[in-house]
Amino acid sequence: MQISSSLLENAVNEFARLPGIGKKTALRLVLHLIKQNPEEVQRFSETIDKMKKEIAFCTVCHNISDSAVCNICSNPSRKKETICVVENIRDVIAIESTQQFSGLYHVLGGIISPLDGVGPDQLNIETLVNRVQQGSIHEIIFALSPNIQGDTTIYYIQKKLQPYNVVITTIARGISFGGELEYADELTLGRSLQNRMPVEKYVSH
Amino acid sequence: MLILDNISLFQFRNYHSGSFSFSKNIIGFCGKNGSGKTNLLDAIYYLCFTKSYFNKPDAQNTSHGKTGFRIEGNLKKSGTPYKVVCVVRENGKKEFSVDGEIYTKFAAHIGRFPCVMIAPDDVAIITEASDERRKFIDYTISQLDLDYLHNLINYNKLLQQRNSLLKQAAEQGKMDETLFQVISAQLIQNGNLIFKKRQEFCRDFIPMIIALYNEIAKSNEKLSINYISNLESNTFENILKENRTKDLALQRTTKGVHRDDLEFKIDGGSFKSLASQGQRKSLLFALKLAEYETLLQHKGFPPLMLLDDIFEKLDEDRMHNLLSRVCVRNQGQIFITDTHCDRLNEALKRLDVQYQLFNL
């Protein structure tokens, strides 16, 4: 791409470093910013600058936060006895969007895979054990990806939590909502049959 | 009934583009060395297994100097048509679809269109290391039992995780004991399922191989076959415990179902060192025919049979017996290659069934 101004070129290159943004999209964004009032562009860059400088991770659950404790952990109406363990912040957003969960979270920051160099020490597991140790937790719900590394992580944490009196559960695995039975893969369908549930517990909305 | 009606190739090995229609149950391909006979069989194999029979990476299957290829086949199973398409894109990404529906996991395709291939190098199953024999057994069971394939994939992933943990332990001088136990327990669970399935499978499969061998070899030597596994004499859990020190020293898992083997013996001695070339060929055909028969029994229809260059391997009578077993008795479709068109024509004529011959 031939760009006459080096100022423009630098800006384009910076935008193009973002995930999912190519050179052409970057150019479009930059040209758009050039057309804006200086105040608007300043607000834009200041917002991003401030976001990066002031963003914090919750010291309790490692979720993204504006202060030392995130607004989920500090919300008095949330049930403090239940913790949902997730892999990353995107999972928190996904589960929050369901509006079905009113407990607290714990963000691990990944799942255990020694092959990829991720051991328990790299993850926020010790802080989870500490939270349980304090004694007010009744249930830990694992909401991790249903694969082997996910299972390894669940079993590992379960072992670490063995000394404490806490119920450990995992989200259900099976046929997805709105899915057609005939298109479900055999493994999922087989699991769904093995872990079938009594109809009286089957609450439809 | 499983029938391949036609296949089209684009930039697959030496085919820039080509299309073949099949209207009979016996299809012969003849032509000189390098004319593309084996490539055509491998393309059919691709449609059944989503990959090459010859363990070549996808990129190496593209025509020279090109990127990407496409194989499309129309198959009919009990009268229902299926369109199977395998595309490797310019960026090397592979897409595999049946009737336009793209697979997210290729493993789900295995066994839908069963197929047995016999190629000259297959004698490695008998002469080479145990991984060839495990591969043979695994490919056969996987076509029958999707759960087995999943267990196998999980086992191999967990084995890698465990070995990488052993390696880290050696490098860093410390080991997360809990994690090691968790991964070992997951490995044990999958390993036990694999062992049970292999044992159960071999109970029927081994007598079938021996019966077929005696039929093909027509001789009096006594062939015996044993499934051998570390798990026979002890539980997997104990085995891992006992070998802990050794595993740590060697930085890998030394015992488990990934060391299983099939042991061939002839008159009590090792088949590998005692058997003649002819006996090896007979055993190879017995193994492959047993796979064919097992698939036929379980699926209720004969799998596709791909025979690559086997005239060099069998005399005329045995060849005739094999062909009549597959195409006349079982009504299965068979694809066969040879360098000599006349020889192939003669052999097919003798069968007294309709056939198609392509001169490549």
Taking the domains of chain B in order of start, what are their residue ranges?
A: 1-114+303-360, 131-300
Helical axes B146-172 vs B177-217, angle rounded to 10°: 130
pLDDT (mean) for A18-31: 93
Most confident of A178-187, B203-212, B308-317: B203-212
Q: What pTM did the predictor assign?
A: 0.83
pLDDT (mean) for B4-33: 92
* CATH numeric code, B1-114+303-360: 3.40.50.300
On whether any CB of chain B is under 8 Å from the CB of A22, the answer is: no
B217: closest CA of chain A, how far (Å): 41
Residue with tokens 């299309």: B19
Q: In sequence order, what DSSP letters do the residues of B36-59 get, joined into one string?
A: SHHHHHHHHHHHHHSS-TT---GG
- For B103, name the nearest residue in chain A, comparing CA atoms only: A185
Q: Are A155 and B165 an interchain contact pair (Cβ–Cβ within 8 Å)?
A: no
A–B: how many Cβ contacts below 8 A? 48
pLDDT of residue A178: 75
On whether any CB of chain A is under 8 Å from the CB of B154, the answer is: yes
On whether any CB of chain B is under 8 Å from the CB of A114, the answer is: yes
Greatest Cα pair distance in chain A:
70
Q: Which of A152, A168, A173, A186 is best to mutate for the B interface (most B CBs within 10 A)? A: A152
Task: Tell whether the torsion through CA atoms of B232, B233, B238 and B242 is positive or negative.
Answer: negative
ipTM more than 0.85? Answer: no
pLDDT tens for residues A44-78?
999 999 988 988 999 999 999 988 999 999 999 99
pLDDT tens for residues B296-347?
999 999 999 999 988 776 777 777 777 777 777 778 899 999 988 888 888 8
pLDDT of residue A182: 78
Whole-number Å distance between alpha carbons of B332 and B307:
13
- Range(s) for CATH 3.40.1360.10 in chain A? 77-201
B161: closest CA of chain A, how far (Å): 5
On whether any CB of chain B is under 8 Å from the CB of A182, the answer is: no
Note which residues in 156-195 of chain B have CB less than 8 A from chain A: 157-158, 160-161, 164-165, 168, 176, 178-179, 181-183, 185-186
Whole-number Å distance between alpha carbons of B202 and B196:
10
Is pLDDT above 60 for A205? no
A171: closest CA of chain B, how far (Å): 19
On whether any CB of chain B is under 8 Å from the CB of A185, the answer is: yes
Q: Are B178 and A185 an interchain contact pair (Cβ–Cβ within 8 Å)?
A: no
Question: Kind of pairing, strands B304-307 and B115-118?
Answer: parallel
- Could you list the beta-strand ranges (E) of B214-307: 223-228, 261-266, 269-270, 304-307
CATH assignment of A6-51, among 3.30.450.20, 1.10.8.420, 3.30.450.40, 2.10.210.10? 1.10.8.420
Note which residues in 127-156 of chain A have CB less than 8 A from chain B: 148-149, 151-152, 155-156
Name residue A117's amino acid.
Answer: G
Task: Show residues of chain B in contact with A155, CB under 8 Å.
Answer: 182, 185-186
B183: closest CA of chain A, how far (Å): 6
Average pLDDT of chain B is 90
Q: Which among A114, A120, A152 has the least Cβ separation from residue B186?
A: A152
Q: Which residue has the higher pLDDT, B248 or A204?
A: B248
Tell me the three state secondary structure of residue A116: helix
B66: closest CA of chain A, how far (Å): 26
B168: closest CA of chain A, how far (Å): 8
Q: Are A185 and B108 an interchain contact pair (Cβ–Cβ within 8 Å)?
A: yes
Give the CA-trace dihedral at B228, B234, B238, B241, to 10 degrees: -40
Q: How far is CA A4 from the centre of its chain?
A: 42
Q: Are A190 and B147 an interchain contact pair (Cβ–Cβ within 8 Å)?
A: yes
pLDDT of residue A1: 74
- Range(s) for CATH 1.10.8.420 in chain A? 6-51
| Domain over A77-201 is classified CATH 3.40.50.2300 | no
Tell me the residue length of chain B: 360
Task: Show residues of chain A in contact with B185, CB under 8 Å.
Answer: 155
Q: Are A114 and B147 an interchain contact pair (Cβ–Cβ within 8 Å)?
A: no
Q: Which among A160, A187, A190 has the least Cβ separation from residue B178?
A: A160
Q: Are B157 and A160 an interchain contact pair (Cβ–Cβ within 8 Å)?
A: no
Is pLDDT above 80 for A186? no
Task: Show residues of chain B in contact with A156, CB under 8 Å.
Answer: 178-179, 182
Poorest-pLDDT segment among A65-79, A89-103, A122-136, A171-185:
A171-185
* CATH numeric code, B131-300: 1.20.1050.90
pLDDT-derived band at A149 (thresholds 50, 70, 90) equals very high
